[in-house]
């Protein structure tokens, strides 16, 4: 036929094009399967409630104390204080027991509040000195906000500070706060492993894969003795109570 010509692809670069197309035909399904597996893994971790550094909210503009309270000074000169997200992920859903009323004065390191879960009570100490201006009114009717939104809606108190700079000098801010949370999470993993050995709770609380990551809120499944140990190791002054039982007193730690 006029105007028709035949080309052997093996004598041209056509075979190279076919090879490239074949490569992508194999690569694209592999890439889709791989990303589906990664997405599924992330979804399964989310549904299982994996506790790792990526789980945590760590606002870079707050001051974090080593006893898992935070403080933020507003433009009005009044500071909000509350519990950090790592603490709440470690212990689970808790209720806030207000101990201080507006108008009262408090010193850094004084007892600020109690948080309670299933009869287990932990004591929280003030990260700053000042006058109590307000306790968060929504936590009484919506205690879940303490866990769900600890830095915005779930704050505990507004305090007018007496010595903000001195009180927060040794606290963690920005990248230091992230590093501190990472170190505390590693410390908590060791704590959980030791508690499992001492108190023999359900072994399913540790996920023995991907480096033995923790399930979220593991302390909520541990016995009261572990809560006592947790108070001593993570929250400062070493006092613990359960169901209005006896208190175990230790030497107080003065630096909060």
The CATH number covering residue 141 comes to 2.40.50.100
Q: Strands 95-98, 130-135: parallel, antiparallel or unpaired by DSSP?
A: unpaired
On whether both 112 and 71 belong to a single domain, the answer is yes
Write down the pLDDT at residue 199.
83
Which has the minimum average pLDDT: 16-20, 146-150, 179-183? 16-20
Residue 183 to residues 33, 53, 148, Cα–Cα distance (Å)? 35, 10, 23
pLDDT at 200 over 80: no
On whether both 239 and 115 belong to a single domain, the answer is yes
3-state helix, strand, coil in the chain (%, to 5): 40, 20, 40
* Dihedrals phi, psi of 203, to nearest 5 degrees: -70, -15
Position with higher pLDDT, 212 vs 220: 220
Full residue range of the structural domain in which residue 33 is found:
9-48
On whether both 36 and 69 belong to a single domain, the answer is no
Residues pairing with 95 in the sheet: 116
Provide the domain count of the chain.
2
What average pLDDT does range 96-108 have in this prediction? 92
| Spatial separation of the C-alpha atoms in residues 100 and 185, rounded to whole Å | 30
Residues pairing with 189 in the sheet: none
Instruction: Answer yes or no: is 2 within a domain.
Output: no
Which has the minimum average pLDDT: 23-37, 105-119, 203-217? 23-37
Asked whether the beta carbons of 15 and 9 are under 8 A apart, the reply is yes
Give the global pTM: 0.73
Instruction: Answer yes or no: is 59 within a domain.
Output: yes
Helices (H), 144-207: 145-148, 164-168, 175-199
On whether both 122 and 245 belong to a single domain, the answer is yes
Instruction: Answer yes or no: is 4 within a domain.
Output: no
Q: In which band, very low, low, confident or very high, does the pLDDT at 244 lie, cut at 50, 70 and 90?
A: very low
């Amino acid at each position: 036929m006029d105007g028709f010509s035949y080309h052997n692809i093996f004598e041209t670069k056509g075979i190279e094009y076919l090879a490239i197309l074949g490569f992508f035909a194999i690569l694209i399904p592999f890439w889709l399967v791989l990303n589906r597996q990664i997405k599924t893994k992330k979804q399964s971790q989310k549904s299982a409630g994996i506790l790792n550094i990526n789980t945590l909210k760590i606002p870079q503009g707050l001051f974090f104390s080593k006893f898992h309270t935070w403080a933020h000074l507003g433009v009005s000169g009044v500071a909000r204080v509350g519990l950090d997200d790592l603490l709440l992920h470690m212990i689970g859903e808790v209720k806030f027991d207000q101990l201080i009323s507006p108008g009262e004065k408090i010193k850094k390191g004084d007892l600020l509040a109690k948080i309670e879960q299933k009869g287990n009570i932990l004591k929280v100490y003030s990260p700053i000195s000042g006058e109590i201006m307000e306790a968060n009114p929504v936590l009484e009717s919506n205690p879940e906000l303490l866990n769900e939104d600890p830095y915005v809606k779930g704050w505990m108190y507004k305090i007018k500070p007496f010595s903000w700079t001195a009180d927060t000098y040794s606290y963690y801010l920005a990248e230091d706060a992230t590093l501190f949370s990472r170190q505390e999470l590693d410390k908590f993993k060791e704590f959980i492993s030791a508690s499992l050995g001492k108190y023999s709770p359900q072994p399913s609380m540790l996920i023995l894969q991907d480096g033995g990551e923790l399930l979220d809120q593991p302390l909520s499944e541990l016995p009261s003795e572990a809560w006592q140990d947790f108070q001593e190791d993570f929250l400062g002054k070493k006092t613990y109570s359960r169901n209005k039982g006896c208190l175990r007193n230790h030497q107080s730690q003065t630096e909060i």
